[in-house]
Amino acid sequence: MDWLEQELTQALARKEPAPGFDGRVRARLHRRPQWLAIAATILVMIGGGEAWRQHQGQVAKEQVMTALRIAGSKLNRVQVQLKGTEQ
């Protein structure tokens, strides 16, 4: 190893990070569950929104069916009256 390589070995020797490095890594490790909780909350909200939309769809479907049933019975009555008039 010549002088330059010796100087390079000294210049590039390992250095410790700033004090408290382990604690900062552990703090980030413990922060993770908070993100999981936030993600879980968002998923529940999305799921809740979807269920509400499905419920609203069901209500609308029932209203349409009721309207069709009423319209159908009215048409039947008109048809019966028309037949009576023809006879």
Q: Which two tokens stand for residue 10?
A: 């000294």
The verdict on 10 binding other proteins (CB under 8 A) reads yes
9 contact partners, CB below 8 Å, separation of at least 6:
1
DSSP string, 47-87: HHHHHHHHHHHHHHHHHHHHHHHHHHHHHHHHHHHHHHHH-
Least distance between other proteins and beta carbon 31 (Å): 10
Number of residues that bind other proteins (CB under 8 A): 23
Give the contact letters, 20-59, x = binds to other proteins (CB under 8 A), - = no.
-xx-xx--xx------------------------------
The verdict on 15 binding other proteins (CB under 8 A) reads yes
Q: Which residues bind other proteins (CB under 8 A)?
A: 2-18, 21-22, 24-25, 28-29
